[in-house]
Amino acid sequence: MERTDLIPVKLVCKHYKVPVAFINRLKEFQLIELKAYKGTFFIHNKELIKVEKIVRLHYDLDINIEGIDAIYNLLEQVYALRQEIRMLHNRLRLYEDL
Amino acid sequence: MPFLDYYKILGLSKSASEDDIKKAYRKLARKYHPDLNPNNVDAEKRFKEINEANEVLGNPDNRKKYDAYGEHWQHADEFEKSKHQGPYKGHYQSDSKGYSEEDFSAFFRNMFTGSHSRTGGRQVKFRGQDLNAELQLNLKDVYTSHKRTLTLNNKNIRITIPAGVENGQVIKIKGHGGKGINGGPNGDLYIQFSIINHSKFKRDKENLYTTVDLDLYTALLGGEVTMETFTGRVKLNIKPGTQNGTKVKLKGKGFPKYKKEAQFGDLIITYHIKLPTNLSSREKELIEQLQALRS
């Protein structure tokens, strides 16, 4: 049965008008994961949102892959800090109105 | 929608060159781009404006019209035509073709959702947009798991709210976001809980905290007091000689642990001893006698 969750890299490149080398670089930086099947590389459809974001950052905002890699690392930190703020905010409620 | 001064938005003067516009747009876009400011509504709003300004000023034809007609630049062709045809007789509504909120969103959507294409006869499927919503609940509401119906874009969604969700916590409802493109999967719906606490309990994760007032005599001699909890009344045995600020822990009487069935945190009670005020002369006399006995 044909798998519809995996999309050939070439097709993704054609759709977003990006060279295959661009996708390969994203893989090198471990920004996305590619799956190999019968000599063809595929991208899981769950990764497409990430690919779209990276394409926008690179082509619309002129940010290179190294910069995007740094941004993703910082965004992870932002999410972790937000989580911590939420936890601390909830704990602070304990001491309010005392 | 109020008039947007595109030059002001991009921080440029009217004499800015095409290169200046491009540079200003990129600089601001890097600052306010939604991908770089997740869940930041202000940044998103700002970015929409920046984007719109760039669409107009970045296009020489549109810029010329904008410079000449300002907020009515989209009607420039009609104005030009009417100049050649004599007085304009049509009924003109200034905002009839402007950017309504809807146009604005569509404009934005086109920019940010993956467009669909047919390639080699095979349609590429794309996941729909993720949606965010906020749900306000009382602390008591999240003491037990319950079902609730939400209305989103005129669609009713019945969801289960698990007991023990935290204030600010986000849960994902799979497949209830935007519709997928070309039969692709729907996006997800992210619900953030805002939990309002009007109860006498304070919550830290699964533990609850509260204070119980004791009168002097119960604190001195011991006794029983009852208090309300989320599951009903409980009886507290007060030991004789209980000090002000004494803490007692009622195991398993706290809040349910998130997604851990039948597991609860503790209820921590702090005793607050209330001293009698406005003593009568008789009371004062008796207390002085007590004082004499103790010294």
Q: Do A46 and B127 touch (CB under 8 A)?
A: yes
- Does some domain include residue A30? yes
* Sheet containing B131-138: order of strands: B131-138, B189-196, B170-173
Q: Would the pLDDT of A79 be above 80?
A: yes
Candidates B124, B132, B200, B207, partner chain A, best to mutate (most A CBs within 10 A): B124
Measure CB to CB from residue B209 to each of A15, A60, A94 and give the nearest one: A94
Looking at residue B163, its pLDDT comes to: 94
Q: Report all structural domains of chain B as residue ranges with CATH numbers, in order of start.
A: 6-112 (1.10.287.110), 131-196 (2.60.260.20), 202-274 (2.60.260.20)
With contacts defined as CB-CB under 8 Å, which chain A residues touch B139?
A: none
With contacts defined as CB-CB under 8 Å, which chain B residues touch A14?
A: 119
Split at pLDDT 50, 70, 90, the class of A87 is confident
Phi, psi of B213 (to 5 degrees): -80, 135
- Does some domain include residue A65? yes
Domain carrying residue A80 = 6-95
* Single-letter amino acid code for the residue at B109: R
With contacts defined as CB-CB under 8 Å, which chain B residues touch A71?
A: 36
CA B134 centroid distance within chain: 5
With contacts defined as CB-CB under 8 Å, which chain A residues touch B184?
A: 45
Looking at residue B133, its pLDDT comes to: 85
Q: What is the pLDDT of residues B45-54, one digit of tens each?
A: 899 899 889 9
- Does some domain include residue A89? yes
With contacts defined as CB-CB under 8 Å, which chain A residues touch B26?
A: 61-62
Measure CB to CB from residue A90 to each of B125, B166, B184 and give the nearest one: B166
Looking at residue B94, its pLDDT comes to: 31
List beta partners, residue B126: B181
Split at pLDDT 50, 70, 90, the class of B216 is very high
Looking at residue B113, its pLDDT comes to: 42
Of the candidates B181, B128, B178, B172, the residue with the CA atom closest to the CA atom of residue B155? B178
Q: Would the pLDDT of B222 be above 60?
A: yes
Coarse DSSP helix, strand, coil percentages of chain A, rounded to the nearest 5 percent: 65, 10, 20
| Alpha helical stretches, state H, chain B | 6-10, 18-32, 41-57, 60-69, 76-85, 101-112, 216-221, 281-294
Q: Would the pLDDT of B247 be above 80?
A: yes
Looking at residue B87, its pLDDT comes to: 42
Looking at residue A68, its pLDDT comes to: 94
Measure CB to CB from residue A90 to each of B127, B168, B209 and give the nearest one: B168
**CATH classification at residue A88:** 1.10.1660.10
Q: What is the pLDDT of residues B143-158, one digit of tens each?
A: 999 999 888 778 888 8
Looking at residue B150, its pLDDT comes to: 86
Q: Which two tokens stand for residue B16?
A: 């800015």
- Please state, for a pLDDT cut of 70, what percent of chain B lies above it: 82
Given a contact cutoff of 8 angstroms between Cβ atoms, the answer to whether B110 and B168 are in contact is: no
Q: Would the pLDDT of A67 be above 50?
A: yes
- Average pLDDT of chain B is 82
Looking at residue B82, its pLDDT comes to: 65
- Does some domain include residue A1? no
Q: What is the pLDDT of residues B64-114, one digit of tens each?
A: 888 888 877 777 777 666 665 544 333 333 333 333 333 333 333 444 444
**pLDDT top residue among A3 and B266:** B266
Measure CB to CB from residue A62 to each of B26, B122, B124 and give the nearest one: B26
Looking at residue B184, its pLDDT comes to: 72
Looking at residue B261, its pLDDT comes to: 86
Q: Do A57 and B35 touch (CB under 8 A)?
A: yes
- Average pLDDT of chain A is 88
Q: What is the pLDDT of residues B156-211, one digit of tens each?
A: 888 899 999 999 998 888 888 888 766 777 888 889 999 999 899 999 989 999 99
Cβ-Cβ contacts under 8 Å for B182 (sequence gap 6 or more) = B116, B123, B124, B125, B126
Of the candidates B43, B17, B20, B42, the residue with the CA atom closest to the CA atom of residue B30? B43
Domain count, chain A: 1
Q: Would the pLDDT of B271 be above 90?
A: yes
CA B148 centroid distance within chain: 18
Q: What is the pLDDT of residues A21-33, one digit of tens each?
A: 999 999 999 999 9
